[in-house]
Structure 1
């Protein structure tokens, strides 16, 4: 259920137009942050389960420990974390049953929203590979958006919600990434035009902020949000210490 705060954020993001809207997107694209991500490998025999819109569990729900990650697709450090630790999280933790990993999309700008709509397109079993493909090509597609012409940028701010998301995804090359994943363009068009899903993704992000997730990457083990933990070097010792108890 969406809170009033979540609905407000969703409306602002989905209805974003004009110079202020593009400035918000451009600022977010340029800003450096650190955000965790999982790669596009299979999650082992446990598989992937969609808990909610933009929320996926890798591994067994009954695992003794649950690690939650709050992720964004327009955060450059996400790709670094994926390269550094993503495979290990799946292979050494989720697939072995030591922990389950819950990935929560925490959208923060229109480009991030378009990417999240695409990674959440299709069956639950497609999410991890979609996620890895979009993260793996992050430098390329963010670079294309930063180099967008004024005429291209105008298309991100006018027209229907679907047309704005589709223009953004097309110029970024996100369609190409997903077509290589076996999607048809018509299916991608439908996913990018899904305003109900977009509102839920945005409302979820507002809810996470209300719960104290103020920066990225943010991690929680069980119900405990880990303060000052924003990279693999600081996360891994805490994760291992709890597993070894």
Structure 2
């Protein structure tokens, strides 16, 4: 068994246990006036919003199956996009720490299409987080078994079907065929999972959301009220 296969096998086992219990830059130059809010570039582990050459760089390490990440998306994301990123003084990168196959399925779908679509896809999944996570916790043994057999694409499609991910994507303008094409991208799935593992090992990240500011992991910072004062000081 290869290391990549072992990685996914481990993720699948973790998910079954958990739920049984309960690029390139898009958009060209900044708009006139120096507003960087619309700039989005895909990175090796996620997406960067704003000026890629900003002096202050914030990275969020997040997971879609993390309730605290969903809470941060409802508080910090909007403030960052409206008050911090547009000036070009700070960039905001969202990177993925893949915890389980449900998480990776959501990651692949949020990455579906051009980089500039990511922020809207990300917001759509976070907005319905409570709903689809409730469904995940109520899945039957038979449903979870479907998540562990067949090709990776087939497993991700089963998850997407059981948790209403196709409905979320339809609301974003994606057909089921388009969504399935993204879910079948095994090379991207492998790359994102490997990047996640490397980030965890390199930075000693133990939980989500975690934040890195100008290359330094912020200890004890997992919510907007903890992060904001540190951003203001850095700026």
> Among residues 5, 12, 15, which one is paired with 1:25 in the alignment?
15
Please say if 1:166 is aligned against 2:157.
yes
Structure 1 residues 153, 141: CA separation in 2 closer, same or farther (over 3 Å shift)? same
Aligned residues: 220
Could you tell me how far 1:80 is from its partner in structure 2? 1.1
**1:45-96 deviations in Å (ceiling 9; x for gaps):** 44111122x4211001122201001010000111211112210011000012
> Among residues 101, 105, 111, which one is paired with 2:96 in the alignment?
105
Could you say which residue in structure 2 is the equivalent of 1:120? 111
Coordinate RMSD, CA, aligned = 2.0
Q: How does 1:166-185 map onto structure 2 within 5 Å?
A: 166-185=157-176
Q: Distance in 1 between matches of 2:230 and 2:20?
A: 31
Q: SS in structure 1 opposite 2:108?
A: helix
Give me the TM-score of the superposition, normalised by structure 2: 0.87
Give me the TM-score of the superposition, normalised by structure 1: 0.84
Q: How does 1:117-156 map onto structure 2 within 5 Å?
A: 117-156=108-147
Q: Distance in 2 between matches of 1:112 and 1:13?
A: 14
> Among residues 49, 54, 73, which one is paired with 2:41 in the alignment?
49
Instruction: Check the 8 A contact 1:46/1:60 in 2, yes or no.
Output: no
Instruction: Check the 8 A contact 1:29/1:74 in 2, yes or no.
Output: no
Please say if 1:84 is aligned against 2:86.
no
Q: SS in structure 2 opposite 1:102?
A: strand
**1:132-156 deviations in Å (ceiling 9; x for gaps):** 0011101111111111122212211
Q: List, as ranges, runs of 4+ consecutive aligned residues in structure 1 with deviation greater than 4 Å.
A: 26-31, 43-46
Could you say which residue in structure 1 is the equivalent of 2:59? 68
Please say if 1:12 is aligned against 2:6.
yes
Q: Distance in 2 between matches of 1:51 and 1:76?
A: 24
Q: Distance in 2 between matches of 1:154 and 1:16?
A: 14
